[in-house]
């Protein structure tokens, strides 16, 4: 009944490491406190950026980081965030709690953070409340090498060389907080703003259009038709289309969510697991529309916001979106990453929201303390898939059913890396039952299969500042070699990675 079948000879399409990307916004304690503590802080830092957070994120090989928003992006005016910090103007972060933003973390600090993380920067420009000129000049400021007003301004702020900037978002959620536009109107705006966001010298900009919210297939259809290609002269207008989908129990009219991150019953466990799996249908159906206009799959589907979204932790600011993170989130992370791996011919970047202290974070901080969440550990275990060749996996799973929901208990994905190692990642969403899975492996003989497992002792198992290592990966010895491959004893509510040679 529970079987996975794969043939390593079918490994072909690359799993772009950017599928394991991240998103960090000026929201709550993500940028400030999460990364930025300032040069004079007691917390060890490099040029104002926390050392512990950078070190931890380097271990999960963050490939790309999206910034400054989110909804914040369409209210952000980049010129407020350059020059001497004490002279930078303040603004009100109207979308996220009306708090004062001092602009101490701006373009130079973000590019420094990316350099420290050794990741690609992905900047999202302001379409909703900014001008074409403002966006165009930001790109010029960052990437132009010659002499120009913006490159001179950059030099006067201490940076002589241009930065390399590939990924550039032309607005965020322009159907909502980014300007309440229709798909038809945004398509035209995208074409105009995208035109003036220039590629200078050898810096080839990869333009990402605002994509659909959840299952808004009309948005994808219109964008692909009107803003996908230049019908007169040929060529592509967009390189990527950005889908957003959050997994939550229920959304209230004010945008907040019900259901807590750590206090939930089995009905809410399976509801979240089931809603997480909806990503499969979303990716498949949006891709089908994209296939119609772009059968060669040149335009990527970029899921640049995804993750779980709960009611905030009691006693915290309602607009700071601070939530804990449990084994339930680890299962959603694992199953979602399996989905992205499966569709890696179209999904070439994804950015989980939001790295530190916000939504489905990798890291939580409290003053000088830091903890790694179960989701962090999943991202660490899945680093084996970065840029590896995806091996299609046929998964036959028993159903896990509860409270009217029914989901496949087992999820899996696999890849072969540059050294020829096969990696299989698997998860078991059933919180009660260990599952024996037969793995039929074609095209290879198994000699070794060391593995690791992430498992909690309860559905809401999580790490706290008092017990930061309650949930962390351990060595896994539940796999045995069989005549046809492996038999794996997949523990209840667990995530497993195997290295098969
Ligand atoms: O990630 C939080 C918010 O969710 C982002 O700012 C916005 O783009 C989305 O609605």
Nearest-angstrom CA–CA distance, 303 and 19: 8
487 is catalytic: no
Give residue 462 CA to ligand 1 midpoint distance, Å.
24
25, 33, 120, 173: the active-site residue:
173
Closest protein CA for atom 3 of ligand 1: 70
Taking only the tens place, the pLDDT of each residue in 129-175 is 999 999 999 999 999 999 999 999 999 999 999 999 999 999 999 99
One digit per residue, the tens of pLDDT, for the chain of length 501 reads 899 999 999 999 999 999 999 999 999 999 999 999 999 999 999 999 999 999 999 999 999 999 999 999 999 999 999 999 999 999 999 999 999 999 999 999 999 999 999 999 999 999 999 999 999 999 999 999 999 999 999 999 999 999 999 999 999 999 999 999 999 999 999 999 999 999 999 999 999 999 999 999 999 999 999 988 877 666 778 999 999 999 998 888 888 888 999 999 999 999 999 999 999 999 999 999 999 999 999 999 999 999 999 999 999 999 999 999 999 999 999 999 999 999 999 999 999 999 999 999 999 999 999 999 999 999 999 999 999 999 999 999 999 999 999 999 999 999 999 999 999 999 999 999 999 999 999 999 999 999 999 999 999 999 999 999 999 999 999 999 999 999 999 999 999 999 999
DSSP string, 382-406: GGGGTTPEEE-EEEE--EEEETTEE
Residue 232: the pLDDT is 67
How many A from CA of 92 to the centre of ligand 1?
17
* pLDDT value of position 25: 98
Question: Are 438 and 3 a contacting pair, CB within 8 Å?
Answer: yes
What pLDDT, on the 0 to 100 scale, is given for residue 175? 98
Ligand 1 center–CA 71 separation, angstroms = 6
Residue 56 CB less than 6 A away from ligand 1: no
8 Å CB contact between 385 and 413: yes
Q: Which pLDDT belongs to residue 383?
A: 98
Return d(Cα 410, Cα 397) in angstroms, integer.
6
CA distance 408 to 395: 9
For ligand 1, atom 8, the nearest C-alpha belongs to 70
Query: What's residue 228's pLDDT?
Result: 85
Instruction: Note the pLDDT of residue 250.
Output: 86
List the residue whose alpha carbon is closest to atom 9 of ligand 1.
70
211 close to ligand 1 (CB < 6 Angstrom): no
Q: What is the pTM of this model?
A: 0.97
pLDDT of residue 252: 86
Interior/surface letters 250-264, b for 16+ CB within 10 angstroms, e for the rest: eeeeeebbebbbbeb
Which residue's CA is the nearest one to ligand 1's atom 2?
70
What is the rounded CA–CA span in Å between residue 229 and residue 207? 13
Per-residue burial over 12-27, b = 16 or more CB atoms within 10 Å of its CB, e = otherwise: ebebbbbbbbbbbbbb
What percentage of the chain has pLDDT greater than the value 70?
Answer: 99
Candidates 65, 19, 60; CA nearest to 341 is 19
Per-residue H/E/C for 166-183: CEEEECCCCCCCCCCCCH
Residue nearest to atom 6 of ligand 1 (CA): 70
At 58-106, the pLDDT tens digits run 999 999 999 999 999 999 999 999 999 999 999 999 999 999 999 999 9
Judge if the beta carbon of residue 172 lies within 6 A of ligand 1: yes
DSSP 3-state helix, strand, coil percentages of the chain (rounded to 5)? 30, 30, 45
Please state the φ and ψ torsions of residue 397, each to the nearest 5 degrees.
-130, 145
Per-residue pLDDT reduced to its tens digit, 197-247: 999 999 999 999 999 999 999 999 999 999 888 776 667 789 999 999 999
- pLDDT for the residue numbered 405: 97
pLDDT score at 255? 80
| CA 443 – ligand 1 centroid, Å | 44
Quote the ligand 1 centre to 96 CA distance (angstroms). Answer: 10
Question: How many Cβ atoms are within 10 Å of 430's Cβ, its own excluded?
Answer: 27
DSSP 207-225: EEEEEEETT-HHHHHHHHH
**Gap between the Cα atoms of 123 and 139, Å rounded:** 9
Q: What pLDDT is stored for residue 251 in this prediction?
A: 83
Tell me the best of 26, 309, 353 to mutate to test the pocket of ligand 1, counting ligand atoms within 8 Å of each CB and taking the most: 353
State the pLDDT at residue 235: 72
Max distance between CA atoms of the chain, in angstroms, equals 70
70 Cβ closer than 6 Å to some ligand 1 atom:
yes
- The predicted structure's pLDDT at residue 437: 98
């Amino acid at each position: 009944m529970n079987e996975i079948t794969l043939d390593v000879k079918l490994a072909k399409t690359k799993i772009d490491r950017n599928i394991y990307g991240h998103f960090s916004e000026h929201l709550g304690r993500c940028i400030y406190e999460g990364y930025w503590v300032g040069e004079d802080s007691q917390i060890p830092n490099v040029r104002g950026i926390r050392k512990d957070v950078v070190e931890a994120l380097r271990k999960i090989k963050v490939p790309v980081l999206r910034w400054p928003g989110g909804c914040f992006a369409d209210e952000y005016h980049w010129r407020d965030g350059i020059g001497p910090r004490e002279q930078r103007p303040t603004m009100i972060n109207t979308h996220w709690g009306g708090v004062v933003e001092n602009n101490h973390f701006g373009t130079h600090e973000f590019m420094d953070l990316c350099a420290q993380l050794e990741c690609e920067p992905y900047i999202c420009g302001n379409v909703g409340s900014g001008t074409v000129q403002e966006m165009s000049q930001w790109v010029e400021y960052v990437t132009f090498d010659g002499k120009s007003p913006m490159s001179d301004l950059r030099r006067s702020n201490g940076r002589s060389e241009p930065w390399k900037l590939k990924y550039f978002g032309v607005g965020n959620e322009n159907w909502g907080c980014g300007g309440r536009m229709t798909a038809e109107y945004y398509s035209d705006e995208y074409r105009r703003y995208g035109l003036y966001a220039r590629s200078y010298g050898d810096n080839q900009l990869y333009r990402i259009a605002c994509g659909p919210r959840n299952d808004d297939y009309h948005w994808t259809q219109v964008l692909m038709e009107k803003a996908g290609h230049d019908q007169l002269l040929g060529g592509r207008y967009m390189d990527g289309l950005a889908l957003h989908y959050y997994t939550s129990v229920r959304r209230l009219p004010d945008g907040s969510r019900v259901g807590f991150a750590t206090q939930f019953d089995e009905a809410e466990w399976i509801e979240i697991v089931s809603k997480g799996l909806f990503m499969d249908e979303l990716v498949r159906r949006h891709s089908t529309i994209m296939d119609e206009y772009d059968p060669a799959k040149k335009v990527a589907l970029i899921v640049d916001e995804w993750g779980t979204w709960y009611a905030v932790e009691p006693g915290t600011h309602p607009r700071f979106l601070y939530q804990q993170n449990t084994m339930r989130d680890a299962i959603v992370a694992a199953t979602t990453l399996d989905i992205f791996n499966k569709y890696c011919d179209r999904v070439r970047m994804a950015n989980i929201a939001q790295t530190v202290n916000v939504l489905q974070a990798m890291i939580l901080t409290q003053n000088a303390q830091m903890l790694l969440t179960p989701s962090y550990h999943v991202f660490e275990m899945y680093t084996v898939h970065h840029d590896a060749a995806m091996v299609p996996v046929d998964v036959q799973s028993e159903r896990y059913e509860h409270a009217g929901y029914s989901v496949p208990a087992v999820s899996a994905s696999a890849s072969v890396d540059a050294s020829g190692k096969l990696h299989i990642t698997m998860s078991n969403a059933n919180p009660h039952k260990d599952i024996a899975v037969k793995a039929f492996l074609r095209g290879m003989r198994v000699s070794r299969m060391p593995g690791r497992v992430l498992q909690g002792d309860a559905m809401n198992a999580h790490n706290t500042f008092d017990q930061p290592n309650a949930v962390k990966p351990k060595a896994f010895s539940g796999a045995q070699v069989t005549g046809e491959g492996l038999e794996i004893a997949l523990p209840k509510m667990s995530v497993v990675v195997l290295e098969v040679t």
